[in-house]
Amino acid sequence: MSQFNDDQLKALLQKNQPKAPSAEDGEFSQILARAKTIEKSRFKLQWVGLGSAIAASFLAFWISIQQPNELQDIAMPTEQISDDFDLYNEEWPTMDVGEDFIELASNN
Amino acid sequence: MLKIPPSEFKILYEEYNSLVRSVIYQIAGPKYLNDLVQEAFIKIWKGLPGFNEHSKMSSWIYRIATNIAIDSRRAATRRHEEFGYDFGQIRDPRAGADKELENRQLVQQGLESLSDDHRVVLVLAYIHERPLSEIAENLGLSEGTVKSRLHYAKTAFAEYLKSKGAVA
């Protein structure tokens, strides 16, 4: 081989290209079997997904019809929150312990 | 249950098997060839129902085979596996075949000596004669990058041949 141009390099590579060993017998059957397995698992997965979605919807519906009052109570409290400041104006008990206690303390 | 009837898939397999095999072998080497060919046809089978541009079928199949081969090489590089063709496949018992055998070994060793990036473009552009625009699209590169890689690949390949005394 001497110095070559693009076409000669192409010809050299094509003529002497690495040749892959031929396919094993039954290669297509193996591919087909794998394809079928994948298809089956995809099919199963679709049904499992659909079943889960139905079950989740049913559960949500069941919860909503079983506990309407509790849910309503949470949403709408019956006791109104008071903003009445009269509470602070009430007379609170004082710390008056009385004469008896003072006497008792001084005796001890 | 299969979306593609097995008879149709078999026709496709027979038509493209040698192409897929050859691309994967030349880019990724012999080590996982059978597994990778199977993987490529599974991908083809999965993608086929949505594929309606039959004029671009070979281009699409080249893309699948090339990307599978590249992914395999990347994984092999991470595992520090050497690239190497199987020279056991190229023994030729014909009389006077010594020179041919020598050339084939030289070409194979020259391809082996290239980086993965350079080998991919040289194989696709020169052995399979794919257009640069298609190679660029399939590899997710610009056409300029592919041209540049091809230039360096040719230079490196020629250097290898020169180092072996095959060219002046």
CB B103 to CB A15 under 8 A? Answer: yes
CB B89 to CB A21 under 8 A? Answer: yes
Count of A-B CB contacts under 8 Å = 97
Of chain A, the percentage scoring pLDDT greater than 70 comes to 58
Summarize the confidence of residues A55-77 as an average pLDDT: 74
CB A3 to CB B167 under 8 A? Answer: yes
Tokens of B29: 């080497």
Which ipTM did the prediction report?
A: 0.85
Summarize the confidence of residues A87-105 as an average pLDDT: 65
Residue, of B98 and B48, whose pLDDT is higher: B48
Which sign does the torsion angle of CA A17, A20, A21, A25 carry?
A: negative
In a domain, A100, yes or no: yes
d(CA A33, CA B1): 12
Domain assignments of chain B as residue spans, ordered by start: 1-84, 93-168
Structural contact between residues A13 and B127, judged by C-beta atoms closer than 8 angstroms: yes
Which sign does the torsion angle of CA B117, B118, B122, B125 carry?
A: positive
User: What value does the CA radius of gyration of chain A take, rounded to a whole number of Å?
Assistant: 44
Query: In the predicted model, is pLDDT for residue B148 greater than 90?
Result: yes
A29 touches B at CB < 8 Å? no
Non-local CB neighbours of B68 within 8 Å, separated by 6+ positions? B24, B28, B36, B39, B40, B43
Range of the domain at A55: 24-107
In a domain, A38, yes or no: yes
Which sign does the torsion angle of CA B63, B64, B65, B69 carry?
A: positive
A42 touches B at CB < 8 Å? no
What is the pLDDT at residue B123?
Answer: 97
What is the pLDDT at residue B81?
Answer: 83
Q: What b/e string do you get for B127-148 counting C-beta neighbours within 10 Å, with b at 16 or more?
A: bbebebebbbebbebeeeebbe
Domains identified in chain A, total number: 1
In a domain, A1, yes or no: no
Query: In the predicted model, is pLDDT for residue B88 greater than 60?
Result: no
Structural contact between residues B136 and B146, judged by C-beta atoms closer than 8 angstroms: yes
In a domain, A15, yes or no: no
Which 3 state secondary structure label does DSSP give B55? helix
In a domain, A33, yes or no: yes
B24, B42, B126 ranked by CB distance to A35: nearest: B42
B41, B127, B166 ranked by CB distance to A17: nearest: B127
Residue, of A20 and B54, whose pLDDT is higher: A20
Q: Say if domain B1-84 classifies as CATH 1.10.3720.10.
A: no
Q: Mean pLDDT highest for which of A41-55, B45-59, B112-126? A: B112-126
Residue, of A65 and B19, whose pLDDT is higher: B19
Nearest residue to A20 (alpha-carbon basis) of B18, B98, B112: B18
Non-local CB neighbours of B49 within 8 Å, separated by 6+ positions? B3, B4
Query: In the predicted model, is pLDDT for residue B93 greater than 60?
Result: no
Mean pLDDT for all residues in chain B: 88
In a domain, A35, yes or no: yes
A47 touches B at CB < 8 Å? no
d(CA B163, CA B167): 8
A33 touches B at CB < 8 Å? no
What is the pLDDT at residue B51?
Answer: 80
Query: In the predicted model, is pLDDT for residue B129 greater than 90?
Result: yes
What is the pLDDT at residue B82?
Answer: 78
CATH class of domain segment(s) B93-168: mainly alpha
In a domain, A91, yes or no: yes
What is the pLDDT at residue B115?
Answer: 93
Question: How long a stretch of residues is chain B?
Answer: 168
Query: In the predicted model, is pLDDT for residue B106 greater than 70?
Result: yes
